[in-house]
Amino acid sequence: MKRTFLVLVAILAGVTLMIVAAHHLQPSANAKNGGMGALRGAPAPDFTLKTLDGKTMKLSDLRGKAVLLNFWATWCAPCKIETPWIVDLQNQYGAQGLQVVGVSMDDESDGEDVKKFAAEMRMNYPVLRGNEDVGNAYGGLEFLPTAYFVGRDGNVTGRVLGLKGREDMEDNVKKALATKAPTQTAQK
């Protein structure tokens, strides 16, 4: 009787451990894309996207500036909380070479909601319409908000996943600003 009980428990434990192991070994969306951490120190994936007023903007055209790349969406409540901090950071550090770029990941929107949201939040920086390709290039963007910080040399210096605090963002902005811009000869 006891032996049967133990055998059953052992089988159950084995099956459970296999399920748990499979859960942990299953590649996540991030892993499939090399993981968000894989971008740190690497050149920021370049992209060309449209702004809300229909112009095009290329990330690499901002070389020489520190860039706060903020991925957000209108339906994201935490994004709404951090937006005023980002507006403040643009005001505070813009003169030192910070350029905030907002990338809206509102797939289903016709753009009007995004425009309205941007106006209500007084976004003082360009807002681009993101897409899946750009999202995948930046680790899959499984959730929002996600911010990447790009140094003056075009390399990723940091990231903030989800809502943390203004201090986290400001520390990352300072790190990005502290990088050196490529020399003109290097640019050629």
- Contact positions toward other proteins, by CB under 8 A? 2, 5-6, 9-10, 12-13, 16-17, 20, 23-24, 26, 28-30, 36, 73-81, 105, 107-108, 113, 117, 142-146, 161-164
CB of 117 to other proteins, least distance (A): 6
Pick 21 or 42: Cβ nearer other proteins? 21
| Residue 51, amino acid | T
Pick 25 or 186: Cβ nearer other proteins? 25
Distance CA 70, CA 86 (A): 9
CB of 63 to other proteins, least distance (A): 29
Cα-only R_g, the chain:
21
- Among residues 86, 76, 41, the alpha carbon closest in space to that of 179 is found at 41
Pick 89 or 121: Cβ nearer other proteins? 121
Pick 45 or 145: Cβ nearer other proteins? 145
Pick 40 or 153: Cβ nearer other proteins? 40
CB of 128 to other proteins, least distance (A): 17
Burial of residue 86, with CB atoms counted within 10 A of its CB: 0-12 exposed, 13-18 middle, 19 or more buried? buried
Q: Are 86 and 169 in contact (CB under 8 A)?
A: yes
| Residue 187, amino acid | Q
- Among residues 98, 108, 187, 105, the alpha carbon closest in space to that of 146 is found at 105
CB of 166 to other proteins, least distance (A): 12
CB of 111 to other proteins, least distance (A): 13
